[in-house]
A and B are shown apart, each in its own frame.
Chain A
Amino acid sequence: MSKILWIALIALGLVAPFIVYPVFMMKLLCFALFASAFNLLLGYTGLLSFGHAAFFGGASYITGYLVKTSGLTPELGVLGGTLFAALLGYLVGSLAIRRQGIYFAMVTLALAQIVYFIALKAPFTGGEDGLQGIPRGNLFGIIDLGQTYSIGGNPVALNLYYFIFVLFCLGFWVIYRTINSPFGQVLKAIRENEPRAVSLGYKVERFKLMAFVISAALAGMAGSMKSLVFQLASLTDVSWHTSGEVVLMTLLGGVGTVLGPLVGAFTVVTLQSELSSVGSWITVIIGVTFVVCVLLFRRGFVGELGRLLKKSL
């Protein structure tokens, strides 16, 4: 893809906190990374996990706990959350990849529900109240992430924003590199025709597990970022709704495209926030949007755009 597009996107990310409400922008980035990580699995390996909330939410609890109770600095908290998600991904993945299709989805969902139950009952998670009041702390022990600067009369946590933005770029870069590597080529081969990949001599199981762990780790990183932004880790993050939402984001944006999950996450999160005043109708509206999108452009926003431009985006 053209360099100019990337530079424009990064520049947009850098100036965003001056234009839109930064907390909202950070939320967008968290979900965009989450959806991108999920897309690595669904779009490039052809595995539909229905339990990704376990990694997203699980890591947010771990980060919250590390930062709040153990007093670690935020970057170590995020690292801890990401490692936890990778480990959990390894455990869930090694069980789930033994099955295919709907059974794979059911195994991931079942294991994610166990994580949900632990989050509900474990003493440190705060049950229904969630883990509240997570401090933002000092980055590397020096830079205060909670510090705000007044921009147009509104307090803006610029330090935190750029920290989150850098993490997002890092995560996104890892995904991009994975897709465009020989390893990624093998993943795509598995997606297209698994028996053929086996017959070519690839140890398919190992590739799938690796992809699963990377995806889980990055989903966890997104969750860790979210817990720092909202200073809260709650049951919503680990519930199966969140697992469903990330499927929705990825499909809406365009499965198997690099930019699709970003667009999908931005669309869903923006809809949710703009429509929050209409109350319970919000689910209906998002549902209708989804149906219309599936009927009119099956490849998602970015997928259809790519088809029109005859380019892979």
Chain B
Amino acid sequence: MKNLFSKVALSVAVVAMTSGMAGAAAKGISDNVVKIGVLTDMSGVYSTLGGKGTQVGVEMAVKDFGGTVLGKPIQVIGADHQNKADIASAKAREWFDNEKVDMITGLLNSGCALAVQKLGGEKKRITMNTGAASTELTNKACTPYSIHYVYDTYALGKVTGQAVVQNGGKSWFFLTADYAFGHSLEENTTKFVKAGGGKILGSVRHPLSTADFSSYLLQAQSSGAQIIGLANAGGDTTNAIKQAREFGIDKKGQTLVGLLIFDTDIKSLGLKVAQGMQFTSGFYWDRDKATRDFAKRFFAIHKAMPTMDQAGAYSATMNYLKAIKAAGTDDPDEVMAKLKSMDISDFFAVNGKIRADGRMVHDMYLMEVKKPADSKGEWDLLKIVKTVSPAEAFMPLSESTCSQVKK
């Protein structure tokens, strides 16, 4: 009897193996846990727009998914990279080597993101970047395991740059954060300003987290440009705008254009200061019912509405877990194959698709800051001027220099 049972078991096993289903299932979940690391700026200039909120987004996604995948628990850990590439790379290395972290998300700050993404490529672990913006991440620096989820400097520069030039802003001067992200944003915006018939009168570079912008603003003022483009983000952008108002730059016929602005920046500037500004975003909490529902739940935990980075981290985590479930394993190659073949569609991403270079393309939005009179609540800050389709917003795959793109 026992003999018969083992024979049956064996034949079942053989059938299962040959049918191919078990091929994937046999790999299953490595180390009996799926571990997601949130590595981002938790204490510096970008901590409001990312920081703990990004971890909240990831934790919400894990909870909504049920806390387990393929019967194994999902864990979330977080760390602060302090906007330093060496700290980010050391932490990520420790996570990959010792903590069995399967995927790292967040990664605000392009300098840090480039370091971690490169390491992920070497160690064969997935990085889903929701925070950093540099287009280099999906071009020269791309790896088979890197995904750039929310936005990039190409989309920001193209959508905002074109809109401003069309409205008559022909001469530009840039205030640029002096690292990978700022350079990339300036370069991409320049391209579209020039294509639209505008010209660049000059630019000045400032270190990350600058407190005093006066000397830079004076240079911008004396350039006589119509538009002062802010190729920086977070605390740097809000500082520059506040100080420009104090200088009265806007009253002398020059307009400030923030190239990367988050809801939280507008909140800290106040509508009175920020009203009328146009910029590009990948997400706005008050777009439709689904986004509002998510935002309300997020607000209950984090006491602030989600930015595109934070909502993006939710969506990235959710889709990563879905891909693991569909692939039947957390093997990075198979999960990546799944992620790149499935449609990304949820409250965050409309018309979403992950391309061969790791770029997640989806609808982007040209936003405008409301007038104080039009605002109905504390977080009623923006309106969507225009929805931009993925093909219009993002760099075409044919232009990508990523080694993963077959040409």
Contacts and interface: CB of A to CB of B under 8 A. Distances in A.
A208 to B, nearest CB: 32
A147 B42 CA distance: 34
Nearest to B205: A127
Interface in A1-48: 21, 23-24, 27
Given A277-B79, A279-B42, A154 B86 contact: no
Contacts of A75: none
Nearest to A155: B97
Interface in B89-128: 89-91, 93-94, 97-98, 110-111, 114-115, 118
Interface residues of B, number: 25
B208 A128 contact: yes
Interface in B330-368: none
Contacts of A21: 94, 97-98
Interface string A256-277: 0000000000000000000011
A138 interface: no
Interface in B66-100: 79-80, 84-87, 89-91, 93-94, 97-98
Given A128-B179, A128-B207, A277-B79, A237 B86 contact: yes
B257 to A, nearest CB: 23
Contacts of A231: 89
Contacts of B97: 21, 23, 154-155
A132 B93 CA distance: 14
Contacts of B180: 128-129
A232 B79 contact: no
B98 A154 contact: yes
A280 B84 CA distance: 14
B289 to A, nearest CB: 36
Contact of A276 (B79, B114, B207): B79
A234 B84 contact: yes
A169 B118 CA distance: 31
Please indicate which of the listed interface residues A128, A130, A234, A236 has the most CB atoms of chain B within 10 Å of its own CB: A128
Contact of B85 (A27, A120, A129): A129
Contacts of A24: 94
Contacts of B86: 130, 230, 232, 234, 236-237
A24 B90 CA distance: 9
Interface residues of A, number: 23
Given A130-B111, A230-B90, A279 B179 contact: no
Contacts of B89: 132, 230-232
B214 interface: no
A244 interface: no
A21 B179 CA distance: 31
Contacts of A234: 84-86
Contact of B179 (A27, A129, A232): A129
B178 interface: yes
A127 to B, nearest CB: 6
B235 to A, nearest CB: 15
Interface string A275-290: 0110110000000000
16 contacts: A23-B90, A23-B97, A128-B180, A128-B208, A129-B111, A130-B115, A154-B98, A230-B93, A232-B85, A232-B86, A234-B85, A276-B79, A276-B80, A276-B87, A279-B43, A279-B80
Interface of A: 21, 23-24, 27, 120, 127-130, 132-133, 154-155, 230-232, 234, 236-237, 276-277, 279-280
Given A132-B114, A230-B86, A234-B85, 11 more contacts: A24-B94, A120-B178, A128-B111, A128-B178, A128-B180, A129-B85, A129-B115, A129-B180, A130-B85, A130-B111, A279-B42
Interface of B: 42-43, 79-80, 84-87, 89-91, 93-94, 97-98, 110-111, 114-115, 118, 178-180, 207-208
| Top 10 A-B pairs, shortest CB-CB distance | A128-B179, A129-B111, A234-B86, A280-B43, A130-B85, A129-B180, A279-B43, A133-B118, A236-B86, A279-B80
